[in-house]
A and B are shown apart, each in its own frame.
Chain A
Amino acid sequence: MYVNGVTLRNRGLPDSHRIGVYRQTGGYGALAKVLQGPMSPDQIISEMKLSALRGRGGAGFPTGLKWSFMPKGVAGTKYLLCNADEGEPGTCKDRDIMRYEPHRLIEGMIIGAYAMGARSGYIYIRGEFVEPIRTVEAAIDEAYAAGLLGERILGTDFSFDLAVHRGAGAYICGEETALMESLEGKKGQPRFKPPFPASYGLYGQPTTINNVETFASVPDIVLHGGEWFLKLGKPNNGGTKIFSVTGHVRNPGNFEVPMGTPFRDLLGMAGGLHPGRRLKAVIPGGTSTAMVAGDAMMELAMDYDSISKAGSALGAGSVIVIDDSVCIVRVVERIARFYMHESCGQCTPCREGMGWLWRVLHRIENGQGREPDLDLLQNVGSRIEGRTICALADGGVAPVVSSLRLFPEEYEHHIRQGSCLVTDSRSVA
Chain B
Amino acid sequence: MPRIEIDGQELEVSAGTTIMEAATQLGIYIPFFCYHPKLSVAANCRMCLVDVEKQAKPLPACATPASDGMKISTSSRRARMAQQGVLEFLLINHPLDCPICDQGGECPLQDVTMGYANPHSLYTEEKRVVEDKDIGPLIATEMTRCIQCTRCVRFGQEIGGIMELGATGRGEKMAIGTYVGRAVRSELSGNMIDLCPVGALTSKPFRYRARSWELKHTPSLCPHCSTGCSTDVQSLGREVLRVTPRINEAVNEEWICDRGRFAYAGLGASDRITRPLLRVNGRLQEVSWAEALDAAAAGLEQVLAENGPDSVSGVISPQSTNEELFLFQGLLRGLGVQAIEHRLRQTDFRADAAMPLYPALNMSLEHLEGESLVFLCHAYPREQQPLTNHRLRKSVLAGGQVWAVDSVRREFNYPVHGLVAEAGQDAALYRTLARCVQGLAEEDGAGLPAEVLEAACALRDAADPLLLVGSGVLQHPGAAGLMAAIAELAEAAGARVGWLAEAANSAGAWLLGCVPGRLPGGVPAGTDSRPPAGGAWDARFRAWILMGVEPGLDAMAAVQARQSLADARFVLTISAFLGEAEAYADVVLPMAVWAESAGSYFNNEGRLQSFRAAVKASGEARPAWKILRVLADHLQVADLAFDDLDSVRSAWETRLGDFPLDVPAFGGFPEGLALMEGAGSPGEGCRILGDWSIYQGDPLVRRSVPLQQPAGCRLHPETAARQGLRDGDMVELQGPGGQGTQLPLALDAGVAPGAIWLSLGHPGTQALGGVGATVVLARAGVSAGAQA
One of A342, A348, A354, A384 near B44 (C-beta < 8 A): A348
Does the CB pair B170–A170 fall under 8 Å?
yes
Is the contact region of chain A dominated by helix, strand, or loop, or is it mixed? helix
Q: In the docked arrangement, what's the CA distance between A345 and B89, Å?
A: 12
Does the CB pair B89–A344 fall under 8 Å?
no
Closest beta carbon of chain B to A197's beta carbon, Å = 16
CB contacts (< 8 Å) of B43 on chain A: these are 192, 389
Q: In the docked arrangement, what's the CA distance between A233 and B45, Å?
A: 43
**Contacts A345-B169, A351-B174 given; does A383 touch B85 at CB 8 Å:** yes
CB contacts (< 8 Å) of B167 on chain A: these are 187, 345
**Contacts A348-B45, A389-B44 given; does A353 touch B89 at CB 8 Å:** yes
Residue A349 is within 8 A (CB to CB) of chain B in the complex: yes
Residue A228 is within 8 A (CB to CB) of chain B in the complex: no
One of A170, A187, A351, A363 near B172 (C-beta < 8 A): A351
CB contacts (< 8 Å) of A355 on chain B: these are 171-172
Contact with B along A360-384 (1 / 0, CB 8 A): 1001000000000000100110111
Does the CB pair A352–B85 fall under 8 Å?
no
Does the CB pair A346–B148 fall under 8 Å?
yes
Residue A65 is within 8 A (CB to CB) of chain B in the complex: no
Residue B93 is within 8 A (CB to CB) of chain A in the complex: yes
Closest beta carbon of chain B to A423's beta carbon, Å = 27
CB contacts (< 8 Å) of B41 on chain A: these are 192
Q: In the docked arrangement, what's the CA distance between A187 and B174, Å?
A: 11
Which B residues, 39 to 88, have Cβ-Cβ distances below 8 Å to chain A?
Answer: 41-47, 49, 56-58, 60, 63, 65, 82, 85-86, 88
Give the most central of B82, B169, B170: most A CB within 10 Å.
B170
Give the most central of A187, A345, A376, A382: most B CB within 10 Å.
A345
Does the CB pair B89–A352 fall under 8 Å?
yes
Contact with B along A163-185 (1 / 0, CB 8 A): 00000001010000000000000
Number of chain B residues whose Cβ lies closer than 8 Å to a Cβ of chain A: 35
Q: In the docked arrangement, what's the CA distance between A170 and B47, Å?
A: 26
Q: In the docked arrangement, what's the CA distance between A384 and B92, Å?
A: 14
Does the CB pair B85–A356 fall under 8 Å?
no
Does the CB pair A192–B60 fall under 8 Å?
yes
**Contacts A352-B89, A356-B125 given; does A346 touch B57 at CB 8 Å:** no
Residue B278 is within 8 A (CB to CB) of chain A in the complex: no
Nearest-neighbor residue (CB-CB) of A388 within chain B: B46
Nearest-neighbor residue (CB-CB) of A394 within chain B: B57
Does the CB pair A346–B172 fall under 8 Å?
no
CB contacts (< 8 Å) of B29 on chain A: these are none
Q: In the docked arrangement, what's the CA distance between A380 and B169, Å?
A: 24
Residue B122 is within 8 A (CB to CB) of chain A in the complex: yes
Give the most central of B46, B60, B171: most A CB within 10 Å.
B171
Which A residues, 20 to 58, have Cβ-Cβ distances below 8 Å to chain B?
Answer: none
**Contacts A360-B125, A386-B56, A387-B49 given; does A346 touch B44 at CB 8 Å:** yes
Does the CB pair B47–A345 fall under 8 Å?
no
Does the CB pair A343–B171 fall under 8 Å?
yes
Number of chain A residues whose Cβ lies closer than 8 Å to a Cβ of chain B: 34
Nearest-neighbor residue (CB-CB) of A352 within chain B: B89
Does the CB pair B122–A340 fall under 8 Å?
no
**Contacts A194-B65, A346-B148, A356-B123 given; does A383 touch B88 at CB 8 Å:** yes
Closest beta carbon of chain B to A158's beta carbon, Å = 32
CB contacts (< 8 Å) of A346 on chain B: these are 42, 44, 148, 150, 174
Closest beta carbon of chain A to B597's beta carbon, Å = 47
Is the contact region of chain B dominated by helix, strand, or loop, or is it mixed? loop
Residue A359 is within 8 A (CB to CB) of chain B in the complex: yes
Does the CB pair B148–A349 fall under 8 Å?
no
Does the CB pair A351–B171 fall under 8 Å?
yes
One of A170, A192, A345 near B173 (C-beta < 8 A): A345
**Contacts A340-B172, A351-B171 given; does A345 touch B92 at CB 8 Å:** no
Which A residues, 310 to 367, have Cβ-Cβ distances below 8 Å to chain B?
Answer: 340-349, 351-356, 359-360, 363
CB contacts (< 8 Å) of A187 on chain B: these are 167, 170
Q: In the docked arrangement, what's the CA distance between A353 and B148, Å?
A: 14
CB contacts (< 8 Å) of A363 on chain B: these are 125
CB contacts (< 8 Å) of A194 on chain B: these are 65
CB contacts (< 8 Å) of B49 on chain A: these are 387
Nearest-neighbor residue (CB-CB) of A360 within chain B: B125
One of A345, A376, A383 near B171 (C-beta < 8 A): A345
Residue B661 is within 8 A (CB to CB) of chain A in the complex: no
Closest beta carbon of chain A to B553's beta carbon, Å = 45
Nearest-neighbor residue (CB-CB) of B85 within chain A: A383
**Contacts A387-B82, A389-B44 given; does A348 touch B90 at CB 8 Å:** yes
Does the CB pair A348–B170 fall under 8 Å?
no
Q: In the docked arrangement, what's the CA distance between A172 and B49, Å?
A: 23
Which A residues, 94 to 148, have Cβ-Cβ distances below 8 Å to chain B?
Answer: none
Does the CB pair B90–A343 fall under 8 Å?
no
Q: In the docked arrangement, what's the CA distance between A383 and B121, Å?
A: 13
Contact with A along B152-196 (1 / 0, CB 8 A): 000000000000000101111110000000000000000000000
Residue B405 is within 8 A (CB to CB) of chain A in the complex: no
Which A residues, 190 to 217, have Cβ-Cβ distances below 8 Å to chain B?
Answer: 192, 194
Residue B147 is within 8 A (CB to CB) of chain A in the complex: yes
Does the CB pair A387–B172 fall under 8 Å?
no
Q: In the docked arrangement, what's the CA distance between A386 and B86, Å?
A: 12
One of B63, B90, B150 near A352 (C-beta < 8 A): B90
Closest beta carbon of chain B to A301's beta carbon, Å = 26
Does the CB pair B58–A386 fall under 8 Å?
yes
Does the CB pair B85–A387 fall under 8 Å?
yes
Nearest-neighbor residue (CB-CB) of A359 within chain B: B125
Nearest-neighbor residue (CB-CB) of B81 within chain A: A383
Give the most central of A341, A382, A383, A389: most B CB within 10 Å.
A383
**Contacts A194-B65, A359-B125, A387-B85 given; does A352 touch B172 at CB 8 Å:** yes
Q: In the docked arrangement, what's the CA distance between A354 and B128, Å?
A: 14
Nearest-neighbor residue (CB-CB) of B91 within chain A: A352
Which B residues, 81 to 107, have Cβ-Cβ distances below 8 Å to chain A?
Answer: 82, 85-86, 88-90, 92-93
Does the CB pair A387–B150 fall under 8 Å?
no
Q: In the docked arrangement, what's the CA distance between A349 and B89, Å?
A: 6
Does the CB pair B86–A345 fall under 8 Å?
no
Does the CB pair A387–B57 fall under 8 Å?
yes
Which B residues, 482 to 526, have Cβ-Cβ distances below 8 Å to chain A?
Answer: none
Q: In the docked arrangement, what's the CA distance between A347 and B58, Å?
A: 14
Q: In the docked arrangement, what's the CA distance between A382 and B86, Å?
A: 11
Nearest-neighbor residue (CB-CB) of B42 within chain A: A346
Does the CB pair A352–B92 fall under 8 Å?
yes
Does the CB pair B63–A387 fall under 8 Å?
no
Closest beta carbon of chain A to B220's beta carbon, Å = 37
Closest beta carbon of chain A to B156's beta carbon, Å = 15
Does the CB pair B171–A348 fall under 8 Å?
no
Q: In the docked arrangement, what's the CA distance between A360 and B125, Å?
A: 8
CB contacts (< 8 Å) of B172 on chain A: these are 340, 343, 345, 351-352, 354-355
CB contacts (< 8 Å) of A360 on chain B: these are 125
Contact with B along A245-285 (1 / 0, CB 8 A): 00000000000000000000000000000000000000000
CB contacts (< 8 Å) of A389 on chain B: these are 43-44
Does the CB pair A345–B170 fall under 8 Å?
yes
Does the CB pair A356–B170 fall under 8 Å?
no
CB contacts (< 8 Å) of A387 on chain B: these are 46, 49, 57-58, 82, 85-86
Q: In the docked arrangement, what's the CA distance between A168 and B548, Å?
A: 59
CB contacts (< 8 Å) of A354 on chain B: these are 171-172
Closest beta carbon of chain A to B76's beta carbon, Å = 15
Closest beta carbon of chain A to B128's beta carbon, Å = 8
Nearest-neighbor residue (CB-CB) of B87 within chain A: A348
Does the CB pair B171–A349 fall under 8 Å?
no
Which B residues, 270 to 322, have Cβ-Cβ distances below 8 Å to chain A?
Answer: none
**Contacts A352-B89, A387-B82, A389-B43 given; does A345 touch B174 at CB 8 Å:** yes
- Kindly list 13 other residue pairs between chains A and B, CB separation below 8 angstroms, not including A359-B125, A389-B43: A187-B167, A192-B43, A342-B171, A345-B167, A346-B42, A347-B44, A348-B147, A348-B148, A349-B46, A349-B85, A353-B89, A356-B125, A387-B82
* Interchain Cβ contacts under 8 Å between A and B, 9 examples: A192-B41, A345-B167, A351-B172, A352-B90, A352-B172, A353-B89, A356-B125, A376-B122, A383-B88
